[in-house]
Structure 1
Amino acid sequence: MDIKRTVLWAIFFVSAIMLFDNWQREHGRQSMFFPNPAATHSASAPATSAPGASGTGSEVAAPASNTAPATAATAPGTPAQQPAPAAQLIHFSTDVYDGEIDTRGGTLEKLTLTRKSDPKQGDLNITLFDRTANHTYLARTGLIGGDFPNHNDVFTALPGPRSLTDDQKSFQISLESPVKGGVKVVKTYTFTRGSFVIGVDTKIENVGTAPVTPSVYMELVRDSTPVDTPRFSHTFLGPAVYTNEHHFQKISFSDIDKNKAEYATSGNSGWIAMVQHYFASAWIPREGAKRDIYVEKIDPTLYRVGITEPVATVAPGQSVDVSARLFAGPEEERILEGVAPGLDLVKDYGWVTIIAKPLFWLLEKIYGFVGNWGWAIVLLTLLIKAVFFPLSAASYKSMARMKEITPRMQALRERFKSDPQKMNAALMELYKTEKVNPFGGCLPIVIQIPVFISLYWVLLSSVEMRGAPWVLWIHDLSQQDPYYILPVLMAVSMFVQTKLNPTPPDPVQAKMMMFMPIAFSVMFFFFPSGLVLYYVVNNVLSIAQQYYITRMMGTQKKSKPA
């Protein structure tokens, strides 16, 4: 029997490991045993095409247009067949950004969010947009509906400032395209002090002899390279679409691969975004402007989400401006709410959003009072435990009563082990006589589960934890405990809770309950310290509550006359 049980346990552990590894691979993460093709990128030039027709090499198909289909993305050769001018990178900086604009297409090619930090915390800067041999993430625009300037054409940077001076609130960088199809484009980026929103203006000038009806496209292009997230936890990575009619829609890379992506394809409101852990980027066109939305795979390793916005017919000698905003920054709810309706949903809590958002609001209010996110977590957990104390008390009282009658239950099971029907009847009679509800300890806990799951997602999703210190050795609540003190405390607290609970009558179940603290502590060794802090405080408060209630019941029992 012992050998069989050992074999079964071995099969269980191997199966669990393989299931976890498959889950990692399914979500685009590095496998523990096999190379992950999603994370391996070709060193060839990344896709740089305009939306509409197919291209080759460094050129990709452009988004479909409701007007005339776009021609090949490459610029036709001039009569003299002169080589195209070489592209340049324009460096710029603000108080929140450091980046580069590629004159090829006027594409925002590199964007680093800068943040000053305590030397103990290290570099807290994060690079969103980037183009390297192993990673691509871009924000780009252009025209379709004809042989018009797009993101493959080399623009000319116009003179102007490239950074904020001490007395400036904003500055602009303008780039001018070559004339194509009788059209010239002047693209202007506006950077504002303290803002994660970039104004992007596209001025379309008809310098030809015939009217033109182009459409402007705005898109985010990204590979599926996973971002750094805590082990044993999954956060969403991929495109998202929002319209007033269909609200927030996430699209996974795997659904795009399988042609199963479902999203709103048109509208006159909303935005499109690329979402990752803690950070997001989003194109926000003018409210009320008609737009078509597209999400597609354009390369074995590249995906894009974009918007095409039709432009009214532009007569010869006339021009039209198409303005939009590009958000690129942290998923801080207060910032997102002020940028565009619904943009705060990129901080995704999933199905527990209705509970998680009020919890974060409360956590934020507590932080405003104490000025430390770690102590805010402690106080919020304490407050939640106080609110649920009546339910917890009912649960612990029920468990205490069950613990008292456990020896009698085991005796009945042993006595009637050959007759399950009589055993069940005897157990029910025991419950009735002792006025014990076998499910009384579970129901109050089940009611609290959505709240504690919501708080888990609040702490996992909140970029405010990034770089936030608590005390002593905890300098960043978004990173794992460097000395594993909190995970050890977590394991100890779980072990104490296990000893306080009634011992399961089944020996296998009893062993599993004793094994659980070890299994969970392995995961908690890799969890962010803010999450582990929450669980440690919750467990310590639960132990205190359970001890107090059990002791109180014992005192009451002794005080009763015999």
Structure 2
Amino acid sequence: MSVFALLDPAVRLAHDAVSALAAVLPTALAIVLFTVCVRLALHPLARAAARGQKAQARLAPKVAELRRRHAKQPEKLQAALTELYREEKASPFAGCLPVLAQAPFFSVMYRLFTKPNDLLQHTVSGVPLGLHVNAAHGQGQLLVFGLLYLALAAVGFLSFRNARRAVADPTAPGAALMPYLSFGTVLFAALVPLAAGIYLLTTTAWSVAERAWLHRDSRPVQPLAVQPAR
């Protein structure tokens, strides 16, 4: 039994919910509305993640100073970081664990919109929701995919801009690369059916708006000038 097969009962429930909405709404709009409902249900986890990220940002100057001081002593650095988080009653994983807890829900949504089912036979502007861009033909179908990718790129840019401002520890490995991952949804959308692309657009737009709301009272993190260890 595959890992995805374990999700089938939840996928069937999601399918029934979207089908019920699609009985009174255009299917594409039903996908958007169902995605919004799922994200609303997951909002408490997003709030928990935001609290962890704010704690990380608050401790970033102290973490950077410890990295500078113990740059050549990884054992002492790890011990110092552990002590810092203990004293501050924080965790370096506080912002990650709630995000990981959301993964099963997103896996169900991905499975629903990529596994062949009757919902994918419906159309939006004449384009089947189960169609991939490499099978699109005619200006009409290509235009629908083009508008989707353009919207995803716009949301990705907003996410990129916010991520650059919110890097808690600019000295951490991979910190400079993380903001650019915001554009990964555009590439991923090119590999999945139109329905999954609509889901991606809805959930990423929600994420950007949700993050802006949860971090509305946060100041942008200023780049830290890290001095070389003596």
What is the TM-score normalised by the length of structure 2? 0.76
What is the alpha-carbon distance in structure 2 between the residues aligned to residue 376 and residue 412 of structure 1? 50
> What residue is the counterpart of 2:215 in the other structure?
550
Larger fraction in strand: 1
> What residue is the counterpart of 2:22 in the other structure?
367
Cα pair 1:495 1:514 within 8 Å, conserved: no
1:206-225 matched pairs, under 5 angstroms: none
> What residue is the counterpart of 1:525 in the other structure?
190
> What residue is the counterpart of 1:386 in the other structure?
40
Q: Secondary structure at the match of 2:128?
A: coil
> What residue is the counterpart of 1:461 in the other structure?
115
Residue 2 of structure 2 corresponds to residue 351 of structure 1: no
Cα pair 1:360 1:458 within 8 Å, conserved: yes
Give a deviation string over 1:426-475, Cα, whole Å, max 9, x none. Answer: 222332343322111111111111111111111112433444233xx563
Q: Secondary structure at the match of 1:441?
A: coil
Cα pair 1:400 1:502 within 8 Å, conserved: no
What is the alpha-carbon distance in structure 2 between the residues aligned to residue 520 and residue 545 of structure 1? 17
Residue 77 of structure 2 corresponds to residue 423 of structure 1: yes
> What residue is the counterpart of 2:30 in the other structure?
376
1:131-170 matched pairs, under 5 angstroms: none
CA pair 552-543 structure 1, distance change in 2 beyond 3 A: same
What is the alpha-carbon distance in structure 2 between the residues aligned to residue 519 and residue 551 of structure 1? 25
> What residue is the counterpart of 2:226 in the other structure?
none
Give a deviation string over 1:227-260, Cα, whole Å, max 9, x none. Answer: xxxxxxxxxxxxxxxxxxxxxx89xxxxxxxxxx
> What residue is the counterpart of 2:202 in the other structure?
537
Cα pair 1:406 1:502 within 8 Å, conserved: no
Cα pair 1:465 1:476 within 8 Å, conserved: no
Cα pair 1:491 1:521 within 8 Å, conserved: yes
Cα pair 2:121 2:130 within 8 Å, conserved: yes
Larger fraction in helix: 2
Post-superposition offset of 1:400: 2.4
> What residue is the counterpart of 1:490 in the other structure?
152
User: How many residues matched?
Assistant: 206
Post-superposition offset of 1:528: 1.7
> Root-mean-square deviation (CA), in Å?
2.8
CA pair 429-453 structure 1, distance change in 2 beyond 3 A: same
Q: Secondary structure at the match of 2:72?
A: coil
What is the alpha-carbon distance in structure 1 between the residues aligned to residue 104 and residue 49 of structure 2? 17
What is the alpha-carbon distance in structure 1 between the residues aligned to residue 142 and residue 62 of structure 2? 47
- Bigger CA radius of gyration: 1
CA pair 466-352 structure 1, distance change in 2 beyond 3 A: closer
Post-superposition offset of 1:515: 3.8
Q: Secondary structure at the match of 1:350?
A: helix
Gaps of 5+ in 1: 1-248, 251-348, 555-562
CA pair 505-511 structure 1, distance change in 2 beyond 3 A: closer
Post-superposition offset of 1:534: 0.6
Cα pair 2:50 2:214 within 8 Å, conserved: yes
1:156-555 matched pairs, under 5 angstroms: 350-370=5-25, 372-470=26-124, 475-479=127-131, 480=133, 482-483=142-143, 484-498=146-160, 499-500=162-163, 501-503=166-168, 505=170, 509-552=174-217
What is the alpha-carbon distance in structure 2 between the residues aligned to residue 367 and residue 450 of structure 1? 24
Post-superposition offset of 1:364: 1.3
What is the alpha-carbon distance in structure 2 between the residues aligned to residue 549 and residue 414 of structure 1? 31
Cα pair 2:114 2:192 within 8 Å, conserved: no
What is the alpha-carbon distance in structure 2 between the residues aligned to residue 392 and residue 507 of structure 1? 23
Identity %: 21
Q: Secondary structure at the match of 1:510?
A: coil
Cα pair 1:397 1:550 within 8 Å, conserved: no
Q: Secondary structure at the match of 1:359?
A: helix
What is the alpha-carbon distance in structure 2 between the residues aligned to residue 517 and residue 550 of structure 1? 18
The one-letter amino acid of 2:122's match is: A
What is the alpha-carbon distance in structure 2 between the residues aligned to residue 401 and residue 359 of structure 1? 35
Cα pair 1:524 1:532 within 8 Å, conserved: yes
Cα pair 2:185 2:200 within 8 Å, conserved: no
The one-letter amino acid of 1:354's match is: P
CA pair 368-552 structure 1, distance change in 2 beyond 3 A: farther
Cα pair 1:399 1:502 within 8 Å, conserved: no
What is the alpha-carbon distance in structure 2 between the residues aligned to residue 423 and residue 451 of structure 1? 36
Post-superposition offset of 1:488: 3.3
Post-superposition offset of 1:552: 4.9
Post-superposition offset of 1:356: 1.1
What is the TM-score normalised by the length of structure 1? 0.34
Q: Secondary structure at the match of 1:509?
A: coil
Higher relative contact order (CA 8 A, sep 6+): 2
The one-letter amino acid of 1:369's match is: V
Cα pair 1:394 1:441 within 8 Å, conserved: yes
The one-letter amino acid of 2:56's match is: M
The one-letter amino acid of 1:521's match is: V
The one-letter amino acid of 1:453's match is: S
CA pair 389-453 structure 1, distance change in 2 beyond 3 A: same
Give a deviation string over 1:134-179, Cα, whole Å, max 9, x none. Answer: xxxxxxxxxxxxxxxxxxxxxxxxxxxxxxxxxxxxxxxxxxxxxx
CA pair 399-492 structure 1, distance change in 2 beyond 3 A: farther
